[in-house]
Amino acid sequence: MGLRAPVAEMMTARADALQLSRIVAGMWRMTEWNMAPQQRLAFIEQCLELGVSSFDHADIYGGYGVEALFGEALALKPALRGQMQIVSKCGIKLVSQARPAHTIQHYDTTAAHITASVEQSLRALRTDYLDLLLIHRPDPLMDFDEMAAAFTRLRAEGKVRHFGVSNFSRHQFEALNRRIPLATNQVEFSPLHLAPMFDETFDGLQDLGVPPMIWSPLGGGRLFSGGDAAGERLRACIQQVADEVRQPFASVVFAWIMQLPCKPVPLTGSGRIAAIQEAVQATQFTLSRQQWFEILRAARGHEVA
């Protein structure tokens, strides 16, 4: 419990110095944690004690229910709001009992939907502002000018302080970023999903000085479970490195990710504080270059050349 990550990490000077903790607590599974409001509050407080001050949401998480669970806990101790950063996302419309008007799952990045989603998130989270709002997925019908105008209005109204995207390609990110400064692109990345390292996503963000946020850094838990020979080879390699550096398996994975020069900010997905601690522990050590490439080699199944 005493191990701490840096409380804040500069995300980008271009976006008025948004600060997120080096590890971000992902809330998308909160409905599965079966916690009472007081237990949720205790979890939030334990995260803050560890230096994990940023909490990642989306309007759709938990069938449109997670934000309200978090807000209910925060209402028990409203003073904590000033110690944290709340991230949320919008742009996906699910078919759900909570949204009976939705007849087909689809994307909506119109100004009207962005604004309405923010208003609903603020009510559910019981806060006056979001620190960071992301467009959840690229929308084939998205209008970059309309989105930028919506962001500008929300900032002027004090409802959202910073903006970003999630799952955008390099070109999509840069097209919107030319219209309004973006703070991050939240993408999937892990030793099981290496695409952003090789499709210019990370290169482009590094060039702009914009750190990516990373979802599913542990491959949705698949790094820990059985699978094919390739998966077993990767697990064995990570475990060997973990034994060498005398650190937990998960900590090695988080450290491997954070060693990239684009300065990724990984998300956790667990309601267990021990799992949060292991992620935080990764901020305290660095792998050798040889160890780092051993994991990459195991992940790809071949040498770099």
DSSP annotation string for 41-89: HHHHHHHHHTT--EEE--TTHHHHTHHHHHHHHHTTSGGGGGG-EEEEE
Indicate whether 94 belongs to any domain.
Answer: yes
Residue 226: the pLDDT is: 67
Provide mean pLDDT across the span 227-254: 94
Q: Does the annotation count 61 as an active-site position?
A: yes
- Give domain status of residue 36, yes or no: yes
Question: Which residue bears the tokens 């709340």?
Answer: 86
Is position 162 within any domain?
A: yes
The pTM score is: 0.93
What CATH number is attached to the domain comprising 38? Answer: 3.20.20.100
Is the residue at 1 inside a domain?
A: no
Residues in the chain: 305
Strand residue runs (E) in the chain: 9-12, 18-20, 24-26, 54-56, 85-90, 92-93, 106-107, 132-135, 163-166, 185-188, 213-215, 265-268
Residue 60 pLDDT:
97
Q: Which domain holds residue 54?
A: 9-211
Looking at the domain assignment, is residue 229 inside a domain? no
Question: Within a domain: residue 185?
Answer: yes
Structural domain includes residue 47: yes
Name 275's Cβ contacts closer than 8 Å, sequence gap at least 6.
250, 268
Indicate the number of domains in the chain. 1
* Residue with tokens 């407080």, as numbered in its chain: 45
Looking at 61, 64, 107, 129, which residue is catalytic? 61
Residue 278 has pLDDT above 50, yes or no: yes
CA dihedral 263, 224, 64, 155 (to 10 degrees): 0
Q: Is residue 180 part of a domain?
A: yes
* Residue 282 DSSP symbol: G
Based on C-alpha coordinates, what's the Rg of the chain?
19
Q: Which pLDDT score, from 0 to 100, does residue 231 have?
A: 87
Identify the band that residue 16 occupies on the pLDDT scale cut at 50, 70 and 90.
Answer: low
- 245-251-253 Cα angle (round to 5): 95
